[in-house]
Homo-oligomer: A and B are copies of this chain.
């Protein structure tokens, strides 16, 4: 605390990212990183551009990347916004679209940055409880609101809300923005992007951190009707005009282009998730059905916080959340088959017979 802090900064409750140990080697299943490297084409392009032109500013409008993403979805450049990871895009969207008189709605168990953004910008919000089995019930969102944000698949649980249900919600909620945060969509979900032509209040946010194996490069994007994108541009150009560096813009463009590599790695993750889920159920774990690159699991007898510590002591990092309703669950990123076998073997040793 300092007398030079603003009132606003005193009241913040900052986001706490998952542990990112910089030294010890862990089997790292705690921050939903992709176990497979980025496309070789991405790395080649970055090496190629690490040259004297780094003395120049990047393109503040990110044209190459926006055009590449627009082509990928069959849309126009003005439907695409790019940012420094989906976190930055979410922050700008909270400011530009979700900061309204009426409260913003999101579920009680979801990405824990949402209430942080609300505190940062002074946005009122209401948290809508997930059902007993951690489903989003769209009908619970049909109440006066200044916006709705859904993570789909949902953060923490991995549960997917069917597209028809989102479409139904959009049909009934057309006076405020609806943001669908699709950080994990490429691991088996169905994207809401095709709905943007029908719903001018729909913004879909995705990231290259997970399914494109580029958490280290910090690139995300949003897709929506032109005026929504223009609102984001206005906010961005009032905060930081050049959030994406030259290497990130180029590397990300190449990642979107290499569709074959992308499909290959995400299918591997999906296959591993299926196998691991079956094995965990044999070990008396309840596994919430996931379409993400992680699973949320609870053992019938063992305590989650204890398991987290025991796994960490044996070199395996998973994520434990102390929040109500989920404090007996562990969130486990899907690693390679070999990593997951080590994880399963270690659990076998740790669990009571």
Contacts and interface: CB of A to CB of B under 8 A. Distances in A.
B239 A91 contact: yes
Interface string A5-21: 11111001111110010
Contacts of A215: 54-58
Contacts of A209: 57
A82 interface: no
Interface of A is mostly: loop
Given A217-B247, A245-B216, A227 B2 contact: yes
A176 B6 CA distance: 10
Contact of A119 (B47, B97, B238): B238
Contact of A54 (B42, B97, B201): B42
A99 B6 contact: yes
B95 A234 contact: no
Contact of A241 (B15, B53, B119, B230): B15
Nearest to A224: B4
A304 B233 CA distance: 30
B38 A43 contact: no
Contacts of A251: 54
Interface string A237-249: 1111111111110
B240 A217 contact: no
A245 B218 contact: yes
A1 interface: yes
Interface string A199-230: 01100000001000111111000000101101
A116 interface: yes
Contact of A37 (B7, B38, B54, B175): B54
A235 B87 contact: no
B57 A20 contact: yes
A346 to B, nearest CB: 21
Interface in A85-101: 85, 87-88, 91, 95-100
A15 B243 CA distance: 14
Nearest to A42: B54
A231 interface: yes
A251 to B, nearest CB: 8
Contacts of A12: 234-235, 238
A34 interface: yes
Contacts of A37: 51-52, 54-55
A120 interface: yes
B246 A59 contact: no
B5 A96 contact: yes
Given A17-B242, A43-B50, 20 more contacts: A2-B228, A5-B227, A6-B100, A8-B99, A9-B234, A9-B235, A12-B238, A13-B238, A28-B56, A54-B251, A55-B215, A57-B215, A84-B84, A84-B240, A120-B238, A120-B239, A216-B246, A217-B245, A243-B243, A247-B248
14 contacts: A5-B227, A6-B95, A7-B99, A20-B60, A22-B63, A37-B54, A47-B47, A54-B217, A57-B216, A84-B240, A87-B241, A87-B242, A120-B239, A245-B247
